[in-house]
Amino acid sequence: MTRDRFEKILQYFHCNDSTTNPARGDANHDKIHHVRPVFSIVQRRLVENYRPHKSVTIDEAMIPFRGRVSYRQYLPAKPCKFGVKVWQLADSSNRYVYQMEVYTGKQDTGREVGLASRVVWDLTRVLSGKSHHIYMDNYISSPQLYQDLLKDGLYACGTCRLNRKGWPDALHKNCLPKQKGASKLYQKENLVAACWYDNRQVNFLSTNSDPTVTVGVQRKQKDGTRAEIKAPEVVENYNKHMNGVDHGDQLRMQYSTTRRSKKFWKYLFRFLFDTAVACSFILMRESPNHQKKSKTGRVKEMCQLEFRQNLDKQLVGQHRQKKTT
């Protein structure tokens, strides 16, 4: 199509009827009403077309945006510091996004209590009772949350902050000697709290690790050689499975369709589109019926660029239109 036609389509592009959204301040007001139908469809399809592996990750992704929106976040530790936060549950083995939740601010007029626990509980309802292993960072982890998940048939593992309610008092900030490989563990039923010293003290919570098992972790020395230091099993599990959401972000942003706009809902729409395409690419790569083989029988992996080019051709079909004079 011509440039002018494309820009005219963008000018009038909408995903929902804005007049059906209750006014701001109403209890039923939806802050992402503009893209709610698309969000619901993508969310439903992500669940219907895939069954995750044993280990999944819960973490936050950011949609870059510096414009005006009431629920914009500032996260200085992220590469993208300004934007809207999206909680995601992703498969740690292949980066498939299974569940999403856009953080739109407080849900009531008072202070929101237990945000992290509520987010984890909402995202894991589709996995309830299926014995999956949930990995998360210290912003989410708490002893009470892990115990609740265990009662619900889900195991958990992650780093934890020392000020969480229920954390053992004996595992304080200076409970370990400053020596690589030093560790100390406490156990209460199936819940294990562990402190391990690497370059600094790191604190872990787990309901899926054996406290009696010790593993070796490779670390680079100052002279360039690699040495193995002892660590509890929880350290190896966390390092292996935690980066599912971050790797999924890399896959989604590799060929991003994001364009500048003054309205945030268009950023969210493109985020959903890119997520759907990235997850479709993962499904194609996982499917044994869509593998390409060479003449010698070796499996040829399709890259995401080739997949997107084929997808574009399938969406456009045989449609061709000549420019009229």
Rg, C-alpha atoms of the chain: 23
pLDDT of residue 41: 95
pLDDT of residue 78: 77
Give domain status of residue 324, yes or no: no
Q: Are residues 2 and 103 in the same domain?
A: yes
Looking at the DSSP assignment, which residues form a beta bridge with residue 292?
Answer: 300
Q: How far is residue 141's CA from residue 186's CA, in Å, rounded to a whole number?
A: 16
Structure tokens at 16: 């929902």
Residue 97 binned pLDDT confidence (cut-offs 50, 70, 90): very high
**pLDDT digits 0-9 by tens, 294-324:** 778 787 888 889 899 989 888 887 776 666 6
Q: How far is residue 70's CA from residue 40's CA, in Å, rounded to a whole number?
A: 22
Give domain status of residue 159, yes or no: yes
Q: How far is residue 91's CA from residue 289's CA, in Å, rounded to a whole number?
A: 21
pLDDT at position 62 over 80: yes
Is the pTM value of this prediction over 0.85?
Answer: yes
Alpha-carbon 52 to chain mean position: 13
Percentage of the chain modeled with pLDDT above 90: 37
pLDDT of residue 111: 46
**pLDDT digits 0-9 by tens, 195-239:** 999 888 999 999 998 888 888 888 887 787 888 888 899 998 998
The mean of the pLDDT values for the chain is 87
Q: Are residues 213 and 261 in the same domain?
A: no
Domain closes at, from 206, 223, 241? 241
Burial (CB < 10 A; 0-12, 13-18, 19+), residue 118, is: middle
Give domain status of residue 262, yes or no: yes
Domain closes at, from 206, 241, 276? 241
Domain that holds residue 92: 1-123+244-316
Structure tokens at 1: 């199509």
